[in-house]
């Protein structure tokens, strides 16, 4: 019997920890002969693949059993595949699992008659028992469709905990909930990194969450199970020795246990390979001085932090059953920012109860002023099985009935206001989170009452000019911002011209200059002589040995500002966090 675990990821750079964990557990739990007789394969795809391409690949593999990993971002694709796969491989047994099907397995089976069953909740041991069931004597691949179709076999399947399945009568049955596994019993999911060199590798040192945030499914378990630190350290060694580019911990609140967190951070600090980046989702208000001291010593880029603020409205915080000391969080984010070595990503959620427009503006402005490297403005998703879904009527929550179940309106926000927030989200993503307009934005902030109003005005301009739905090149974003600022703040137009050019050249030594760029012809001789002197006796351009002055002039750039300052952009020496070129003033020639 041939078994396929199919994962449809959001992007190519992602990997699916779930299917790798299921395979690792199943391989360890079976004998060599069983693994040979019933091998488990993994097929990873993305939602950007054409559906026929995925269907073709699965068909050519000719599996007898297919398990699909289901999430809000892929469930619609999975449903289509299940329906079509049953037509082209009618003998293949199809099972579903994952958070998007775990809380209404019976309903899913009613809607998807081609699926044989649903794994509910944590799947490692369930999957092992299922494939042992299908592979046992008398249930050969050719008879896969008959598995569970006799009263005797139905009785065997009914003893598998944590599933919903079809009985002989056609009735859909749900078995007893499966107890949770100790984390150390779950094997490490990776054997080698062949084919995964440029992808994000996901890892978990704990499961569950101690908090009860009403919008989150992790709160349902209400317990946290930790992987033993000796085991975690051995597994971290695998990533470090293989020089993985990024390892993303999927622990819901990584630092909920201070000692567990501290020991792991100490270990990656002491064993840093100079390459691997580790991503953690944390509660910043729980960080203590010992952890801060460890973070302060880290190589720039060794770790990055995702911090869920969600809202600065105390009433909303209480209503969603979140525990947070916002002032302490703010202080911690500020300290980490001062270290200059750790990327911080702060999250807000629009559409929470008791959050109206005035409240959300205040939340946005407060988080923006914390100066995170990224400010993620997300929208409430009303997930099946969450407390938020139970409270939807009371909150006047209207949301999409199809995944990802995103909010449309609440008692406190109408749909028009949600659309305004969508425009602010887009502008924040393009102009703030890209990190490409830092100097220009700092100057722009002086011209508006608040950061929120600045991005709202920019979003309005995009809408009025019919720009919102178009794809724009990086250079076009600068041109649009130049035109916008010319309308909004013409008195500082020349200041913005300089700042836009600084932001532009910090990232890239562009060959095609924007239309607003200042004429540099009067500085040509000075710039040529500068590179000649640097070739003979380098003062600013270190690390260019072996290159002549012409090559150096192509590998670095000098830009003249309005006041005659000449700024050098050195692309061989970049900031390890922002990746911006090193910029330094190298001369002044009077007013430009």
Q: pLDDT per residue over 70-80, tens digit each?
A: 999 999 999 99
How does residue 139 score in pLDDT terms, banded at 50, 70 and 90? Answer: very low
Structure token pair of residue 497:
């011209």
User: What integer pLDDT is reported at residue 36 of this predicted model?
Assistant: 93
Query: Is the predicted pLDDT of residue 151 greater than 60, yes or no?
Result: yes
Structure token pair of residue 308:
């869920």
Q: What percent of the chain has pLDDT over 70?
A: 96
User: What integer pLDDT is reported at residue 142 of this predicted model?
Assistant: 42
DSSP letters along 97-121, please? ESTTTTT-HHHHHHH-TT--EEE-S
For 259-278, how does the pLDDT look when each residue is reduced to its tens digit (9 = 90+)? 999 999 999 999 999 999 99
User: Is 312 strand, coil or helix?
Assistant: coil
User: What integer pLDDT is reported at residue 144 of this predicted model?
Assistant: 42
Query: Is the predicted pLDDT of residue 421 greater than 70, yes or no?
Result: yes
SS3 readout for 265-316:
HHHHHHCCCCCCEEEEEECHHHCCHHHHHHHHCCCCCCEEEEEEEECCCHHH
Mean pLDDT of 478-503: 96
User: What integer pLDDT is reported at residue 220 of this predicted model?
Assistant: 63
Contact 231, 184 (CB under 8 A): yes
Contact 303, 268 (CB under 8 A): yes
Query: Is the predicted pLDDT of residue 451 greater than 50, yes or no?
Result: yes
For 23-69, how does the pLDDT look when each residue is reduced to its tens digit (9 = 90+)? 999 999 999 999 999 999 999 999 988 999 999 999 999 999 999 99
For 329-386, how does the pLDDT look when each residue is reduced to its tens digit (9 = 90+)? 999 999 999 999 999 999 999 999 999 999 999 999 999 999 999 999 999 999 988 9
- Is the pTM here over 0.85, yes or no? yes
User: What integer pLDDT is reported at residue 167 of this predicted model?
Assistant: 86
User: What integer pLDDT is reported at residue 136 of this predicted model?
Assistant: 80
Average pLDDT, the chain: 94
Query: Is the predicted pLDDT of residue 149 greater than 60, yes or no?
Result: no
Q: What percent of the chain has pLDDT over 90?
A: 88
């Amino acid at each position: 019997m041939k078994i396929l675990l199919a994962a449809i990821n959001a992007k190519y750079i992602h990997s699916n920890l779930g299917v790798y964990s299921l395979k690792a557990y199943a391989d360890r739990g079976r004998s060599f002969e069983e693994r040979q007789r019933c091998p488990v394969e993994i097929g990873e795809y993305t939602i950007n693949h054409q559906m026929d391409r995925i269907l073709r690949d699965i068909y050519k593999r000719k599996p007898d059993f297919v398990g699909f990993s289901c999430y809000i971002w892929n469930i619609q694709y999975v449903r289509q595949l299940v329906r079509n796969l049953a037509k082209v491989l009618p003998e293949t047994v199809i099972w579903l699992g994952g958070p998007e099907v775990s809380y209404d397995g019976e309903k899913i089976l009613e809607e998807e008659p081609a699926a044989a069953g649903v794994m509910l909740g944590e799947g490692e041991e369930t999957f092992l028992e299922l494939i042992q069931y299908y592979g046992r004597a008398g249930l050969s691949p050719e008879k896969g469709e008959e598995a569970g179709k006799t009263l005797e076999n139905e009785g065997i399947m009914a003893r598998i905990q944590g599933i919903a399945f079809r009985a002989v009568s056609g009735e859909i049955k749900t078995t007893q909930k499966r107890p949770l596994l100790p984390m150390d019993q779950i094997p490490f999911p990776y054997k080698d990194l062949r084919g995964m060199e440029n992808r994000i590798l996901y890892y978990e040192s704990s499961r569950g969450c101690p908090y009860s945030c009403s919008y989150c499914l992790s709160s349902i378990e209400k317990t946290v199970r930790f992987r033993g630190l000796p085991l975690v350290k051995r597994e971290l060694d695998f990533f470090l020795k293989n020089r993985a580019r990024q390892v993303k911990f999927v622990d819901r609140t990584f630092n909920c246990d201070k000692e567990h967190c501290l020991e792991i951070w100490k270990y990656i600090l002491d064993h840093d390979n100079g390459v691997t980046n580790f991503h953690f989702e944390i509660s910043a208000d729980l960080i203590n001085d010992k952890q801060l001291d460890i973070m302060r010593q880290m190589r720039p880029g060794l770790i990055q932090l995702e911090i869920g603020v969600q809202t600065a409205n105390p009433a909303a915080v209480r209503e969603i059953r979140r525990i947070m000391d916002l002032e302490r969080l703010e202080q911690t984010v500020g300290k980490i920012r001062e270290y200059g070595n750790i990327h911080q990503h702060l999250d807000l959620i629009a559409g929470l109860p008791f959050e109206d427009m005035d409240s959300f503006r205040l939340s946005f402005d407060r988080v923006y002023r914390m100066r995170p490297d990224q400010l993620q403005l997300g929208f409430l998703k009303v997930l099946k099985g969450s407390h938020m879904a139970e409270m939807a009527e009371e909150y006047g929550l209207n949301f999409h009935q199809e995944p990802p179940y995103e909010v449309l309106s609440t008692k406190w926000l109408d749909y028009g206001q949600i659309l305004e927030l969508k425009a602010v989200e887009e502008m924040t993503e393009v102009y703030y989170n890209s990190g490409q307009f830092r100097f220009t934005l700092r100057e722009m902030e002086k011209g508006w009452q608040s950061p929120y109003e600045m991005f709202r005005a920019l979003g309005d301009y995009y809408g009025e000019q019919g720009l919102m739905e178009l794809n724009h090149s990086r250079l076009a974003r600068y041109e649009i911002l130049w035109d916008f600022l010319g309308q909004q703040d013409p008195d500082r137009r020349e200041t913005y011209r300089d700042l836009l050019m600084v932001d532009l050249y910090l990232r890239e030594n562009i060959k095609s200059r924007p239309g607003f760029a200042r004429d540099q012809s009067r500085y040509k001789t000075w710039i040529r002589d500068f590179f000649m002197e640097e070739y003979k006796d380098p003062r600013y351009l270190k690390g260019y040995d072996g290159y002549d002055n012409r090559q150096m002039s192509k590998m670095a750039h000098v830009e003249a500002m309005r006041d005659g300052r000449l700024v050098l952009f050195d692309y061989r020496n970049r900031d390890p966090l922002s990746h911006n070129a090193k910029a330094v003033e190298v001369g002044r020639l009077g007013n430009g």
